Structure 1
Amino acid sequence: MPKNTFFLFILMMSNIIFSQEAIDENRSRIISALENYFFLEREAIHLHLDKTTFLTNEKIWYQGYIINRKTKKPFFTTNVFVVLYDEKGKQVSEKLIYAYNGIFSGVIDLDAKMTSGNYYIQVYTNWMNNFSEDESGIFKINIINPSEGVKNDKKIDDDSLELYLTPEGKNLVANVSNTIGIRVKDCRGNSPENLEATLQNAKGETLKNIHINAAGFGKFEVNPEDDFDKVVLKHNDKTIVKTLPYKQSVGFGLEVNNFSFETKTIIKIKTNLATIESFKAQKAYLIVHQDSKHFIYDLVMDKNSLEQTISLQNTDLFSGINTIRIVDSNLKEWANRVIYNAPKKETPISITKNYRKEDKIGFVGYSSAPNTSFSITIVPTETKSLKENYSILAGLGINPYITESLPNANYYLFEPKRIKNYELDLFLLNQAVPKYDWENIKTTKPATNFSFDIGLTLKGNINKNVKNYSDYKVKITSFKDQIIKSTEINEKGEYVFENLILTDSTTLAMTLLKLPNFEIIDTKIGHQVLNRKKPFYKPFKPNMSQVCPEIKAENTIVDLDLPKFSSQAIQLEEIKVEKKLTYQRSIGNGHLMGYKVDEIMENIDLLSFIERNGFTVIRRFGDATIYSRVINTLNAERPTPQIIIDGRVLMNQFEFTTMRMSDFDEIYISSNALVPGMLNRSGIIKAYTKKNFKPNHIKADPNNVLIKEAFSLYPIFKNADYKNTNNLGFDHFGLIEWASLLNSGEEGQFLFKITDYNKPTVKAIIEGMTQEGKLIHDEIIIEMK
C-alpha cells in the first residue's frame, strides 16, 4: 500500500471512530438523563367508583388500584390518602386507606347539607411529594342535593368560549408542511356540537374548512405555499379569531399516524434547508420513551433528506402512552408529541347465574387470568350516573403521563375502532403542555426528600426517672388489630414502633417492661403518631385560568327524575343470623380469602387445606415445611409464606404446622400476596385461634391510649335506603350493588351477589388487575330473570 494511501486510510478510520464515539457519547447523555430523572419508582393510582353522579343521601364506594410504573405490576404501597374537595378547592373530607398488593377499598360519606355541584377526589401518597409533577389521581364527580336541584355544568358558556391552536410537535416550522391541532372549549371544558372553523389568509379569504368533533377537537394541515394567517370560528353571535403561531426558521415538524394501520405507527420528520445548514456540526435523534424505557434513532441530516419516515411495529412500542421527542447532540429539544399504543385486549369476563336466595341472586364470574383482583358496580341498564366514564385502562395507562386526564375514556377504549383511535389521537395531539418537560429531565434528578411510608410510626419517650434505659423495653398490645410488639429504648429514653397497621379508634395498651424478668413498671409513657397527617404539596386546585359564572341549580326535573329515599326503611338483611367472618374487616384481611372454621372444616387436615389453597407442603420425618409455588429470587431459593397467628408473625413454621384445624376460629390465606422485606417471603397465612380475647378485659390504665384517625376500616357495603326503585329516578341515578375486594382465585372464578330490585336486566361494570399488571375493564348486561 502506498504511504499516502495508508495515511488517508488511517485518517478516514480515525474520523469514523471519532464520529462513532461522539454519537455514543450523545446517546449516553440522553439515556443518562432519562434514567436519572425516572430512577425513583413512580406510582400510578386509579379509582373504580360505583358511580360518578351521587345524591347527598348516598355514599361514594370505590376500589383503588396501584401499579409500579416501571414494572406495570401491583405496587406494595400501603399508605394512601383519599381527599374530597368541592369545586372551589375546599377540603371536605380526608381518610387514610390501607392498600395491600396494589389494592385498596373504601367509602366516602356524604352530608345532607352539601350543595349541588362538581366535586373532586384526589388520591395520593407521601412518596409522590418527591416529584415536581403532580402524580396524584384526580377524579371529578357530580353531587346532587335533591332539595336544591341539579346544576347543569354541561351547558355551554358562550362568553368564555375560546379557540386554541397546537402545532404537532409544538412548533410551526417555516417552509415545511405542518399539522396543527385545534381545540374549542368554554371555561368548564365544554364544546358546542357541529362546529366548523375556517383557515383564512390575510385578506380574510377562506383557504379551507376545518371540522371540529363533538369533543371540541380537530386538526388541519398548512403548506409552505399557503398564504395562511388565522383561524376563524363562528358560534351563535360570537366570532373567535386566532392568529397562527410564529413560524420558526429552524426546526422539525412531526406528523404521527398510529390510527390508520392496525399493527404499525408511521412517524414523519420534516425539516428545511436552514435547519440542515445549522446542523452541520450536530446530530439529531428521535427518542421514543415511556419514563426511563426508551429507544433512539439517528436522524439523517442532509439536503436530500428533508422528510424522513420511520415505520414502527406497535409490538415494539411501549404499552400505553409513548412520548416522541427530537433532540440534538447538545440535548436541546426541538419537538415532542405523545401517542397511545393500546395494550392487547384481555379476554372478556363471562358471568353465569348461580343461585337465588330470598332477595339475592348469586353469580359466578369467570376470568382467563387466575388470582385477579376485581371490583364490580351494578347499576340499572338505563343509568345516567356514569357520565364521567372513568376506565382503569386510562387511569393507569394514559392519565399518569399527560397533564389533562382523558374525559369520557370508555368511549375511546372500551370497544376501540379506527374513528375512535383517530379521535383519541386528536385529544393527545392537542395536549399543549407536556407533563414531563425535557429541560427538567436533562437538568434534574428527583431526590428522596419524602418517605415511602409503610404503615404508621409510633414514637415517644418514657419517664426520665427511669435509669439504665437499656434494661427496659416498651410493649404495645392491641386486641382489636391483633398486635403484640415490643421495642428497645435508646439512650435518650425514646422508643419507636414502625410499620404499624392500626385502624381508626384503636386502643393500644402500652407497658414498660424491665428485663430480664419482664417485670411491669408503673410509669407514664408518652406517645405520638408521626406519619398520619401527611400533607400533599400539590393539592387539588380549580382551574382559574378562566372565571366561570356561578351555575344556578335547576328544579325543572320532575319528581320521577331523581330517586327518593326513606330513612325509615327496614333493612331485613340486617336482622339475618348468619355465620359471618369476624376478622374480615381487619386491615389486610379483605385482600385474602377468608374461611370460618365450622364443624365441617374442623375435620379437615390443616396442611391439606393449605395445599388446596395454592401452597406446596413438604413432609419429612414428622416435620413439614410450607413453600410458595412462586420463585421470586435470583438464586431460585423457594420462598415461604408469612404466617401470622393472632397478630404474631411466626419466625419459623413449627408452631403452625403442628396445630390442628380445630384450634382455629378463622383462617385468611393468599398464595400470591406480596410480602415486602428481605426474608424471601411470598404469600400470607393469617390464623385466629378460638381463644376468647376481649378488649374489655384490659385493666384500666393511663397508658391505654386511643389512636384516632388511623387507617379506615374496610367498609361492608350497604346500599342507600331507596324508598321506591320502580321509577325513572332510580333507573337513571340509583345503585343496585357494589362489590369490592373480589379475587378470581387459582381457577379464575369469583363469586358475587346482586340484590333483586325487580329489574329484567342490569348493567355490570367490572374492573380488575392481575398479579402481572394486566388491566381489565368490561361492561356486561346481566339477565336477572
Structure 2
Amino acid sequence: MNRMEKKKLLTLSPILVALFLVVTNGLAQYGRGEDRYKDYQLYFEHPREEIYLDLPKGVFYPNEPIQFAGYVFDKLNSLPAVLTTNVYCAVYDEFGSLIVQKLFYAREGKFEGVLEIPAEQGSGKYYIKAFTNWMKNFSSNAMYLRDIYVVDENFQSTARSNIDTPARIEINPESSELIAGVRNSVGFAFFPGQGGGSQVSKCQLTDIQGQVLIQEIEISPQGYGRFFLSPLPGEEYLLKIETQEGVVIQEKLPQPVEKGVSISVNSLHANHIAIEVRRPETDLRSNSVMPLDLALHRDGKIKLMQFDLKPGESNIFIPKKEAFSGLNKMSIFDAQQSLLADRIIFNDYGIDNYSQADIRAKGNRPDSVEIELSINGVSKKAETRLSLSVLPEESLADDNDRSIRSWFMLQSFFSKGIGSELTTAGMSRLSMHHLDLFLLNNSWNRYSWEDVLQNKPRIDRSFDNGISISGQIKGDKSVQNKRLIMYQKSVGEFFYSRVGPDLSFAYDNVYVIENEPLLFFVEDHELKKSTRVEVSLNPSYSSESLMAEDLKAISSAKGPNVQTDFDRPVLMFPSDEELDEVLIVAKVEPKLTRNQRLASGVFEGNKIDQDDLKRNTYLSEYIRKLGFKVRPGPIAGEVIVSGKFPMSKPPVVYINGFRIDCINGCQINDLLLTSVDEVYYEHVGIEGSDGGTLYIYELFGSRNSKNKILQHIAEVGFSTQELNQRFKYSEFAKNTFLAYGNIHWESDITIPEGESTTVKFPSFGLSHFKIIINGFSDKGDLISTVNYLLLD
C-alpha cells in the first residue's frame, strides 16, 4: 500500500468488543477513542428483520387475488429469521390510504397469503407493504414496499411524479464537498422532468464565462454520470446538458473549499477495490501526517483499516475477498472522529457463484406441461423453500429486477427506485459501471453515522410471537381457580389457563385464526346458562396510511400502457374452452389444519369432504376402510375399534385431542360422518401400540350442549385465506392475457439439497413460457432465477 506507514485490518462483530480493544493499539496512540465503534455495535444490538414479498406478477385484473410468498431475513446473520412469526401485509391506494391489512404467520422465515382489492376500488396504481410490529422500532424504510397495478379497459396511467416538474441536475461530489487544489471526483444525476426531453444530446463542463473544460461527459441510461475536476479556489463551474429537443439545463457546482480530503473509489477491478485519497498541499497541517480510519460496514458488521495520510495523494488497495460481498458502506474519519467522506460500493467478489434453479421439461400434453425443478449451488444439507410463477414469455406483468436476490443485496438499501438494468446477476463490466454511477449519486436508507452516534432506536414496540389473549368470565363465581380450556377447530390444539380469583384468564403466544370461533369450557365443570366471556386479543396493531415520503420512494416506477397493449395478438384458447369467458379453476386439496404435528411423517390424514360423505354414513364405516377393525359395542350407538392385525393390541385413540381409555377395548360413539372434520391415523405403532393410532376431530359443537361451551369470534388473528376460486379471463383479458395473464403460481415448494420436484401447469395452447423462481434455503442461500421454456 503506497505511502502507508502503518495499516491494520480487522473485523468487528457484536460479540468482539473486548477483542477490538485489545488488538487496535494504533487507536490509542492517535488519541482516538473506541466509543464510535461501541456505538456502532450498540446501534445494532437489537435484532433487525428484512422482508421480501414475491408476487406472481405486478399487474392484476379486477377481482384477481393478490397472492404472495413472503421471506423474512435476519440482516446481521443473513439467515432466515426463525423467531419471526407475525407479519402484517397491507394494500394501499395510489394516495396512500389503507384498503386492506391482514396478519400472516411466518414459519422459519417463510409465509404465504392472499389479499384482495375490493372491486369498487377500480383500476389504478396500488401499493403493497409487508412489515412486523418489531420493525416499527426502526426506520420505515426497512419495510417492504412496492407498487402494483390493477388494469381494465378504463385504466389510465397516472404518472403524477413528473407533472409540471422542470428538468434539473443534481451535483454529488464523491467527497461531499469540492476540495480546491486537488483532483475531485464529481457525480451528477439528470432528471429530465415533464417537458425537458429524456434523450441527452450533449453534456459539458464549463467555467462561469462559458469556456468548455470537458467536452463530452457520459451519462448512463439511468441518468447518472461522473467527471474529474481540479477546481481553483474561488472559481465557479457549470455543468450543462442539452437534450435532443434543444433544451439546455445547467447547474452550478458547489463552491470549492480549501481544507478537507478528496476521495475517488474504483471497485471495477477484478481483485481489489482501489481508493485514491487526496489532501491539498496548502492544508495548514500539511507538514504532518493525518491519521485516518477507513471503515467498511453494513447492518451491524464492520471492517476497519487505519492509515496515515501525507500531503498529496495516497493509494489504498483493499482485496475484494476482505470486503463484504455485495454492498459496502465506506466511511472515512479523522482523529477527531469527524466523518470526512462516505461512499457506497458494490463488491462483486463471489457474486457470480450463486445458487440457481434449473428446470427440465418432462413432458407435455395438449392441455398441460410438466417440468422437473432442481436447485444447484446451495449449501450442503440445505433445504430450499421457493415460490414459482409461470407467465407467457412476452409477459409485461413482471419486473425482473424485483427478485429476492436483488432486494436483499441492493434494492432495500435505497429510498430511490432502481432501474431494471441495475441487477445483481450476470453482471458485466458495463453494468457494474452503471451500478457504480448509481451508488455514487445516491444515499442508502439503512442508517447514517449521525444515526449511529446520536439517534439510537427507541424500542417501544414489542416483538410479537403468536397472539396473546386475555379475558374475564362473567356470571359464574364457581369457576374461580378452575382450569379454562380454549379450543379452535382449525388449529386443532387445546390451550389451558387458570381462572383467577377475579375470574380473569390469559393465554400467551397462541395461534388464532381470524374470524373463527374460539370455544371455551371449564374442565370438569358445567357452566351456567347466564355465563359469558369477554375476550381481548393482541396484537391489535393499528392501521395507518402511507406517508408522503414512502410514496416518493418509488414514485419513479412506470405503470403499464394498456392502450398500446390492446394491440397485442388475441390469444385463442383451446377449442374445448371456447366460452364467453375462459375459467381457470384453481383446484386446492382440503388442507389439514387440526394438528400440524400429524400432518407429515408416518401419519396419514384426511379432511372429510363431500366424496367421503357420499360413500359413508357413519364414522365406523370410514375408519374400517382405513384398515381398522370395527364391531358393535355393548351400548347402542357405540362401536369397539381394534387393530389391523388379529393379535394386535387395542389402538391408541384420541377424540378432539383427548385420549380414550382403551384398556378393555376402544369403545367410541359411532358418530355421523357429517359431524367429523378430520381423521389422522397410522398402523406402525408410533404411539406405543401395535394396533396403530387414530386421531378423530369433530366439527366442534356437534355433540356439546350450549350451556357447556362459551363461544367468542376472533376479531384479530392470522389470515388463512386460501386461493380457491376461479380466475375469469374475459374478452378484455383475452386481448391482454399475453401481457398481463398468469399461467401458474405456487407459493411454497420445498426441495432438499440434491433432490428435485415436479411442477405441472396448464399450457392454454402456448409454447413459450417465462418461469420466475425466488426463494431461500435454511442456510441463507438466495435463489433468483428467470427460466425460459420452449416446447417442441
* TM-score tier (shorter): 0.7 to 0.9
Identical columns (%) = 20
- For 2:740, the equivalent position in structure 1 comes to 733
Deviation for aligned residue 1:333: 1.0
- 1:693 paired to 2:689: no
* Residue 503 of structure 1: aligned partner: 513
The aligned residue for residue 248 of structure 1 is 257
- Secondary structure of 2:120's partner? coil
Return the offset for 1:380.
Answer: 0.6
1:438, CA displacement in angstroms?
0.9
Match of 2:277 among 243, 247, 269: 269
1:453 and 2:458 correspond: no
Matched with 2:74 is 68
Matched AA of 1:234: E
Counterpart position of 1:360? 368
- Cα offset, 1:32, TM superposition: 0.3
1:389 to partner: Cα distance: 3.3
Other-structure match for 1:328: 334
Which stretches in structure 2 are left out of the alignment for 5+ residues?
A: 1-22, 607-622, 629-653, 660-677, 683-691
Q: CA deviation at 1:308?
A: 1.9
Alignment partners' CA distance in 2, 1:506 and 1:247? 67
Displacement of 1:163: 1.5
Quote the offset at 1:704 in angstroms.
0.5
2:383 counterpart residue number? 371
Partners of 2:196 and 2:372 lie apart in 1 by 41
CA contact (8 A) 1:507 1:706 kept: yes
Task: Tell me if the contact between 1:174 and 1:272 (Cα under 8 Å) persists in the aligned partners.
Answer: yes
Compared CA separation, residues 769 and 434, structure 1 to 2 (3 A): closer
Q: Aligned to 1:44, which of 44, 50, 59?
A: 50
Equivalent residue in structure 1 for 2:436, among 413, 420, 425: 425
1:533 corresponds to which residue? 541
Letter in 1 for 2:327: I
- Counterpart contact for 1:377–1:764, Cα < 8 Å: yes
2:775 counterpart of 1:768: yes
The code of the aligned residue for 1:781 comes to Y
1:221 to 202, 224, 228: 228
Report how many residues are paired: 684
Mapped pair 1:705 → 2:715: no
* Aligned equivalents of 1:506, 1:159: Cα separation in 2: 51
Q: Is the 8 A contact 1:130 1:446 kept in 2?
A: yes
Are residues 291 and 432 of structure 1, via their aligned partners in 2, closer, same or farther at CA, if it must alter by over 3 Å? closer
* Partner Cα separation in structure 2 for residue 154 and residue 214 of structure 1: 22
**One-letter code aligned to 1:416:** M
Please give the TM-score of this superposition, normalised by the length of structure 1.
0.77
Q: Does 1:474 align with 2:484?
A: yes
User: Please, which moves more after superposition, 277-286 or 102-111?
Assistant: 277-286
Q: Describe the shift of the 1:714–1:275 C-alpha distance in structure 2 as closer, same or farther (beyond 3 A).
A: farther
Q: Deviations over 1:536-572 (max 9, x none)?
A: 6975755569999x99998566465798999975758
Q: Which amino acid aligns with 1:442?
A: L
Q: Which runs of 5 or more structure 1 residues have no equivalent in the other structure? A: 1-16, 605-644, 651-662, 668-686
SS in 1 for 2:452: helix
The worse-fitting range, judged by mean Cα deviation, of 396-405 and 331-340 is: 396-405
1:144 aligns with 2:156: no
Indicate conservation of the 8 Å contact 2:168/2:250, yes or no.
no
Task: Give the letter aligned to residue 285 of structure 1.
Answer: D
Cα distance in 1 for partners of 2:497, 2:403 equals 45
For residues 359 and 589 of structure 1, the distance between their equivalents in structure 2, rounded to whole angstroms, comes to 37
> Is residue 381 from structure 1 mapped to residue 393 from structure 2 by the alignment?
yes
SS of equivalent residue, structure 1 residue 26: coil
Q: What is the aligned partner in structure 2 of residue 340 from structure 1?
A: 346
- C-alpha contact 2:585 2:725 (8 A) present in aligned 1: no
Give 1:250's aligned amino acid. K
**Which SS does the other structure have where 2:208 is aligned?**
coil
Distance in 2, matches of 1:249 and 1:40, equals 41
- SS class of match (2:273): strand
Helix, strand or coil: the match of 1:439? helix
CA contact 1:116–1:553 (8 Å) conserved in 2: no
The Cα shift of 1:34 comes to 1.0
Stretch deviating more after TM superposition (133-142 or 369-378): 133-142
> Deviations along 1:74-121, whole A, 9 cap, x unmatched?
002111111112221111221211111111112232343334433221
Over 3 Å counting, the alpha-carbon distance change for 1:742 and 1:387 in structure 2 is closer
* 1:587 and 1:714 in contact (8 A); partners too: no
Corresponding residue for residue 102 of structure 1: 109
Q: Give distance in 2, aligned partners of 1:155 and 1:567.
A: 41
In structure 2, C-alpha distance between the alignment counterparts of 1:128 and 1:722, rounded to whole Å: 39
- 2:149 maps to 1:134: no
Q: Shift in Å at residue 733 of structure 1?
A: 1.7
Q: Which one-letter code corresponds to 1:176 in the other structure?
A: V
Q: Which amino acid aligns with 1:478?
A: Q
2:762 equivalent among 730, 740, 755: 755
SS at match of 1:403: coil
C-alpha root-mean-square deviation of aligned residues, in Å?
4.1
Change (3 A) 1:448 1:767: same
Any conservation in 2 of the 1:157–1:186 contact (CA below 8 Å)?
no
Larger Rg: 2
1:592/1:690 CA distance change after superposition, 3 Å: closer
Q: Which moved more, 1:476-485 or 1:486-495?
A: 486-495
CA offset at residue 314 of structure 1?
1.9
Q: Secondary structure, in 3 states, of the residue corresponding to 1:423?
A: helix
CA–CA distance in structure 2, aligned partners of residues 114 and 561 of structure 1: 29
Instruction: Give the Å deviation of 1:60.
Output: 2.2
State TM-score, norm by structure 2: 0.77
Cα distance in 1, alignment partners of residues 785 and 114 from structure 2: 22
Task: Please tell me whether residue 583 in structure 1 is matched to residue 596 in structure 2.
Answer: no
- The SS at the match of 2:57 is coil
Letter in 1 for 2:787: I
Q: Per-residue deviation at 1:315?
A: 1.9
* Counterparts of 1:413 and 1:298, CA distance in 2: 30
Say if 1:40 and 1:155 are closer, same or farther in 2 by CA, change over 3 A: closer
Q: Distance in 2 between matches of 1:589 and 1:58?
A: 33
Cα distance, 1:301 vs. partner? 3.0
Q: Given residue 698 of structure 2, which amino acid in structure 1 is its aligned partner?
A: F
- Kept in 2: contact 1:158–1:238 (CA 8 A): no
Closer, same or farther in 2 for the Cα pair 1:157/1:468, shift >3 Å? closer
* Alignment check: 8 A CA contact 2:276 2:315 kept: yes
State the SS of the aligned residue for 1:735.
coil
Distance 2:189 2:598 in 1: 45
Q: How far apart, in 2, do the equivalents of 1:381 and 1:168 lie?
A: 41
| Distance change in 2, residues 1:128/1:648 (3 Å) | farther
**In 1, Cα distance between equivalents of 2:197 and 2:681:** 56
List per-residue Cα deviations over 1:608-644 (Å, max 9, x = no partner): xxxxxxxxxxxxxxxxxxxxxxxxxxxxxxxxxxxxx
Q: Per the alignment, do residues 131 and 587 of structure 1 end up closer, same or farther by CA in structure 2, a change over 3 Å counting?
A: farther
Give, in whole Å, the separation in 2 of the partners of 1:282 and 1:572.
70
1:463 lines up with 2:469 in the alignment: no
What letter matches 1:583 in structure 2? L
CA shift for structure 1 position 394? 2.1
Distance 1:100 1:649, change over 3 A: farther
Distance 1:70 1:759, change over 3 A: same
2:38 corresponds, among 32, 40, 64, to 32
Alpha carbons of structure 1 residues 595 and 729: separation in structure 2 relative to 1, 3 Å: farther
Match of 1:47, SS? strand
| Structure 2 counterpart SS, 1:526 | strand
State the 1:48 CA deviation: 1.3
Residue matched to 1:413: 424
Distance across 2 between alignment mates of 1:65 and 1:600 = 43
**1:164 to 2:174 alignment:** no
Instruction: Give the secondary-structure state (helix, strand or coil) at the position aligned to 1:174.
Output: coil
In 2: Cα distance, 1:85 partner to 1:166 partner = 34
* Cα distance per residue 1:205-254 (max 9 Å; x no partner): 22222222221111111123596511122333543221112323222222
Structure 1 position 50, deviation (Å): 1.0
The answer to whether the 8 A contact 2:583-2:726 is kept is no
Deviation at 1:323, TM superposition (A): 0.5
Report the Cα distance in structure 1 between the residues aligned to 2:500 and 2:733, rounded to whole angstroms. Answer: 66
Counterpart for residue 91 of structure 1? 98
Q: Partners of 2:29 and 2:545 in 1: how far apart?
A: 40
Aligned counterpart, 2:617? none
